[in-house]
Amino acid sequence: MSSKVKFINSYEKLGEEYFSRTKIEAFDRPELIDVNYELAAELDLELNDQEYLEYFSGNKNFDSSVISTVYAGHQFGSYVPQLGDGRAHLLGEIENIKGETFELQLKGSGKTPYSRFGDGKAVLRSSIREYLASEALHHIGIPTTRALCLIGSDENVMREGMEKAAMVTRVSPSFIRFGHFEFFTHSKKPEQTKILADYVIDKFYPQAKSFEDKYEKFFYEIVIRNAELVAKWQAFGFAHGVLNTDNMSILGLSIDYGPYGFLDNYHLGFIPNHSDYSGRYSFGHQPQIIHWNLYALANALTPVLPLDKSGEVLQLFGAHFLRSYIDLMREKIGLKQKKDTDKKLIQDLLHILAEQEIDYTIFFRKLCDYRINGDNSEIYKELKKVDIFKEWESHYQKRLLQEVWPDLNKNAEKAEEERSMQMKKVNPKYILRNYLAETAIKQATFVQDYSEIKKLRKILQHPFDEQPEYEPYASSPPEWARGIELSCSS
């Protein structure tokens, strides 16, 4: 490790009510599956592959205290008074040469006092999905935790059958969740809630301290971050799958990748988790669920912020979400100016996609090449009822002609090419479709071939680029993939 990078653990200073000292259960015969060298460079980590294998399989210890934190949470709407890091070990924080700090956490690294009836392990299947998803979202531009490396083993664990255990090293400025605050407030420990709030404000929301009520500003920033986060999920077609409050980052990050999924066909009722029988966490419900979770956080912050004040702040969520979402969708269809009619234009297009079961990502990528007076046959090929789309298209054309693209009247071709280039910066060609992840998982599980994991990480690090050599990875799913079911089991 670079001498310029040091290990600290500021969370540990809060006191032992906030965590337990824990021990990693190392793999006997670990295998280094992949390292995210791009992220390692951002962290200023200078390790060789053998060191990655030893440190992040628990066989070699950094000079730091290992802890697991306690929290609670609302799971599918019901409050669970104690959860915590049941299979995760916080190694501490590293500071890069820019002065930025990042927590490193092993997931699947053994039992902790919060494991309840679990074995503290994670399986290869879910570890691959988390490793790839966190990087896929990051490079699309969605706030998320990151993944540094993936370690495999020959250890067997029982889930939906016998599976191989694995560990993933997760990276984030912090892994503090809504549930941390819920635990202390609902356990009648208001002073601990205040200490935790002050810690988070000092470290991550220092701008709040200059306001008359720093806790109100703190909550406001959390509300805004989450409104913008879920707006990005909706705009890019991502469904988290299990939005319990213990899966909600206090920093407004996507965290805890279980039965998530990117949309194939546009469908508001898409449910990535086959055990979510009521559809509570369906794609279309995500904004309402985030709002509900923020209300749960507001209740947990009552030791420092009265509900009447947090309630006023929470009322801002809906408008900010909608504004952020419409802004993102406006960019996706190539509009720069803001007009009141844009919301209906966007809604009408999404209605067409839903009615005709159109692939969301492919359609928007092809729309990038739309030309007002050109050949749009490639876009029409994606549609089942072209005449309905052409009715929408007439409004779209009029709206495009209202734009202020350079030389629109003098050089329409140049203007349209510029619009196309801008649209391709916000409409990814490559996403982590479930069938791509499933293919990588099967190769890793059955023939110990990890090449597909490495290839996918490489592709997903450049989601907006054409990458013609990987063209098949931008295809809609094959028929066999429509039966893929995902669960929380890992």
Q: Which amino acid type is present at position 457? A: R
Instruction: List beta partners, residue 249.
Output: 177
Is residue 246 annotated as a catalytic residue, yes or no? yes
Contact 149, 44 (CB under 8 A): no
Q: Which residues contact 157 (CB under 8 A, 6 or more apart)?
A: 119, 121, 123, 163, 164, 165
Task: Determine which one of 34, 246, 276, 359 is catalytic.
Answer: 246
Q: Beta strands 122-123 and 162-172: pairing type?
A: antiparallel
Contact 346, 326 (CB under 8 A): yes
The 8 Å CB, 24+ separation contacts for 401-406 are 401/372, 402/337, 402/339, 403/334, 403/335, 403/336, 403/337, 404/336, 404/337, 405/336
What is the spatial distance between Cα 319 and Cα 342, in angstroms, rounded to a whole number?
A: 15
In the numeric block, the tokens 């280094």 are attached to 32
Catalytic residues: 246
